[in-house]
């Protein structure tokens, strides 16, 4: 059953540490298998892709059918309400990320050295989109639109179609997001194709998007050949709620992430023990009504937690130790508490901001750091698709002002050619 913790209990620290240490990832030993797949694709290209797609996805392809044609993408359709919802989401995601775009900078410092930096988009991005039962059109938008806003020139999307099945709404989302290429490929072999290229597919510069253990391992192994984004783990949500909330609302919020994965984690922190107990009852009531409750039930019972504190003033310290992917502050005045929080992927303020609006239509990307990595990383943004080039310019006077220090440091580090390249210019200007 769900863990119940009381911060006033003598063994709370041990219980909380155990909660943080719970095994939340399926540690499959896939590195060797993945390495073999990567090597095969690198050596045999399209032939290896066809072989692995038949083996793992039970789909027979030819080089000319690896890519989904433009006509098929253009013809993809779905119920009008679903397309309208995607369009609404796409508009909001694009607007939010346009506001993130940074400006170039150029300035002169106090000795007249010209300094600055310029932002440029990465040329080609590979987007991995899970297929089958985990096909999420919203993830297409959340990954592809920030890339487009950043100015990426080419966006190639990989989506497996097991047995030939492909959610048409994924293709609609790709069309709305301006994806250039869509390929019927998944798994480690898709990552290999993006990293190394084949006769049919040009390689990319960076790979983004979530996937299973094989995809995650493949991304780790090709890093350096290409860039990668976060290594996504199971989803997680932490809700801080007082007794003024509707328990049914909070229970639904907890289950909104628990239903993603048996290894997802949902945690409630409250200063009201009676309210917390009512929320756990509401969770069970919701589970009894969900059409497919098995995943959410296992996640909640195995990894869920309810933490009761005497005051919400204790919450920020606990939040920062958890460093959750999603943090809901379901309070009338959440800002005071939020000001004390350092580590969270995305924060949802107030009683009417459920995490689910962030998954779809709020605007920020829902690709967020998991497994405590919000301590050192951020959610996906335009900055994941940009690179910064620094700029320096010295004239004779400026080099004379700062060059002697460079000579001294180069000599101290035992790098005489470094020192010479500056010293020669100083000597010529001084003669």
Q: Reply yes or no on whether the pLDDT at 132 is more than 70.
A: no
The CATH number of domain 31-101+122-228, selected from 3.40.1010.10, 2.60.40.1240, 3.40.50.1980, 3.30.470.10:
3.40.50.1980
Give the model's pLDDT for residue 430: 64
DSSP-assigned letters across all residues of 199-245:
SS----SEEE----HHHHHHHHHHBTTBEE-------EEEEEE-TTS
What is the rounded average pLDDT of the residues 4-30? 82
- Annotated catalytic, 13? no
Give the model's pLDDT for residue 316: 97
- Torsion angles phi and psi, residue 387, rounded to 5: -130, 150
The secondary structure of residue 60, as a DSSP letter, is -
DSSP-assigned letters across all residues of 165-209:
---HHHHHHHHHHT-SEEES--HHHHHHHHHH--SS----SEEE-
> In the chain, which residues fall in CATH 3.40.50.1980?
3-24+233-362, 31-101+122-228
Kindly name the residue from 97, 260, 286, 326 that is annotated as catalytic.
326
- Annotated catalytic, 97? no
What does the pLDDT look like over 340-367, one tens digit per residue?
999 999 999 999 999 999 999 999 999 9
The secondary structure of residue 9, as a DSSP letter, is S
Dihedral of the alpha carbons of 129, 134, 138, 141, in degrees to the nearest 10: 0
Query: What is the CATH T-level fold of the domain 394-430, as seen in this structure?
Result: 1.20.5
What does the pLDDT look like over 58-67, one tens digit per residue?
999 999 999 9
Comparing 10-19, 42-51, 312-321, which segment has the lowest mean pLDDT? 10-19
Query: What distance in Å separates the CA atoms of residue 126 and residue 154, rounded to the nearest whole number?
Result: 9
Q: Which of residues 123 and 29 earns the better pLDDT score? A: 123
Kindly name the residue from 181, 236, 259, 325 that is annotated as catalytic.
325
Q: Reply yes or no on whether the pLDDT at 369 is more than 80.
A: yes
> In the chain, which residues fall in CATH 1.20.5.1300?
394-430
Comparing 223-237, 300-314, 321-335, 394-408, which segment has the lowest mean pLDDT? 223-237
Give the model's pLDDT for residue 395: 96
Give the model's pLDDT for residue 130: 87
| In the block, residue with structure tokens 């962030």 | 358
Q: Reply yes or no on whether the pLDDT at 27 is more than 70.
A: no
Q: What is the reported pTM? A: 0.93
Query: What distance in Å separates the CA atoms of residue 351 and residue 22, rounded to the nearest whole number?
Result: 29
Q: What CATH superfamily classification does 3-24+233-362 receive? A: Nitrogenase molybdenum iron protein domain (3.40.50.1980)
């Amino acid at each position: 059953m769900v863990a119940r913790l009381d911060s006033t209990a003598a063994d709370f620290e041990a219980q909380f540490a155990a909660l943080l240490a719970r095994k939340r990832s399926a540690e499959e030993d896939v590195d060797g298998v993945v390495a073999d797949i990567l090597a095969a694709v690198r050596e045999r290209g399209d032939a290896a892709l066809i072989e692995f797609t038949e083996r793992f996805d039970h789909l027979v392809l030819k080089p000319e059918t690896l890519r989904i044609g433009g006509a098929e993408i253009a013809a993809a359709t779905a119920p009008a309400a679903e397309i309208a919802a995607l369009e609404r989401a796409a508009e909001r995601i694009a607007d939010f990320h346009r506001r993130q775009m940074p400006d170039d900078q150029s300035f002169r410092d106090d000795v007249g050295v010209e300094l600055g930096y310029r932002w440029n988009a990465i040329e080609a991005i590979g987007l991995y989109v899970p297929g089958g039962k985990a096909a999420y059109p919203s993830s297409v938008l959340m990954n592809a639109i920030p890339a487009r806003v950043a100015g990426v020139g080419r966006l190639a999307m990989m989506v497996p179609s097991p047995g030939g099945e492909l959610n048409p709404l994924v293709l609609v989302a790709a069309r709305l997001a301006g994806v250039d290429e869509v390929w019927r490929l998944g798994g480690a072999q898709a990552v290999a194709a993006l990293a190394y290229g084949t006769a049919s597919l040009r390689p990319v510069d960076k790979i983004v998007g979530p996937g299973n253990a094989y995809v995650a391992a493949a991304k780790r192994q090709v890093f350096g050949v290409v860039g990668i984004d976060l290594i996504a783990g199971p989803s997680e949500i932490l809700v801080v709620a007082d007794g003024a909330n509707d328990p049914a609302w909070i229970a639904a919020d907890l289950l909104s992430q628990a239903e993603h994965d048996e290894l997802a984690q949902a945690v409630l922190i409250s200063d009201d023990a009676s309210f917390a107990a009512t929320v756990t009852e509401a969770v069970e009531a919701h589970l009894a009504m969900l059409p497919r409750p098995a995943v959410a039930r296992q996640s909640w019972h195995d990894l869920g937690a309810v933490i009761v504190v005497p005051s919400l003033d204790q919450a920020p310290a606990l939040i920062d130790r958890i460093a959750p992917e999603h943090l809901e502050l379901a309070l009338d005045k959440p800002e005071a508490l939020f000001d004390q929080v350092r580590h969270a992927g995305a924060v949802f303020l107030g009683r009417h901001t459920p995490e689910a609006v962030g998954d779809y239509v709020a605007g920020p990307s829902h690709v967020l750091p998991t497994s405590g990595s919000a301590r050192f990383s951020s959610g996906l943004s335009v900055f994941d698709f940009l690179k910064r080039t620094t700029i320096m310019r010295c004239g004779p006077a400026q080099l004379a002002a700062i060059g002697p220090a460079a000579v001294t440091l180069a000599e101290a580090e035992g790098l005489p050619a470094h020192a010479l390249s500056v010293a020669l210019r100083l000597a010529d200007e001084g003669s």
